[in-house]
Amino acid sequence: MTVAAQMLDTYPKDLGRVDKDKLRECIEACFECAQACTACADACLSEDTVAELTKCIRTNLDCADVCDSTGRVLSRHTGYDANLTRAVLEACAAACKACGDECAEHAEMHEHCRVCAEACRRCEQACRDLISSLG
């Protein structure tokens, strides 16, 4: 059982209509994607062709920040605001799509970009799945 699952299970109040499994999956995907994007940006900085990866680095760092913030927002349940949660999830899905698309352009040449693109796609889907479950 993951820490996110344990924390959701120990929350003392009812989570309401939020699908706990989708919430857990999204929290985990956000933090995983933030780590992948941070590592990918760092790996891009180590490439000999770093000048050609400027947009990728910027997109990685933006996505990492958005995913990290989203994971933190989703981890708080007291005083839950569905409108804010939906907006944060939409922003995260958009950041993941942009980063996934950018990394996919470099995936054949840079393995770290391939791995990052996959993490971005998983996170984007997890955000969209959670949005759909919110009603």
What is the residue-level pLDDT of the chain in tens, covering all 135 positions?
899 989 888 888 877 778 999 999 999 999 999 999 999 999 999 999 999 999 999 999 999 999 999 999 999 988 888 899 999 999 999 999 999 999 999 999 999 999 999 999 999 999 999 999 986
Q: Can you give the pLDDT at residue 49?
A: 92
CATH of the domain at 64: 1.20.1270.360
Does residue 12 form part of some domain? no
pTM of the model: 0.94
Structurally, the chain folds into a number of domains equal to 1
- What does the alpha-carbon distance between residue 72 and residue 102 come to, in Å, rounded to a whole number? 25
Does residue 121 form part of some domain? yes
Does residue 60 form part of some domain? yes
Q: Can you give the pLDDT at residue 11?
A: 85
Does residue 5 form part of some domain? no
Q: Angle, to 10 degrees, between the axis of helix 3-10 and the axis of helix 20-46?
A: 150
Does residue 14 form part of some domain? no
Does residue 51 form part of some domain? yes
- What does the alpha-carbon distance between residue 105 and residue 83 come to, in Å, rounded to a whole number? 34
Residue 55 sits in which domain range?
A: 19-134
Q: Can you give the pLDDT at residue 127?
A: 98
Q: Can you give the pLDDT at residue 135?
A: 64
Does residue 10 form part of some domain? no
User: With contact defined as beta carbons under 8 Å apart, do 133 and 86 qualify?
Assistant: no
Q: What does the CA dihedral 65, 48, 97, 25 come to, rounded to 10 degrees?
A: -60
Structure tokens, 134? 């919110």
Does residue 9 form part of some domain? no
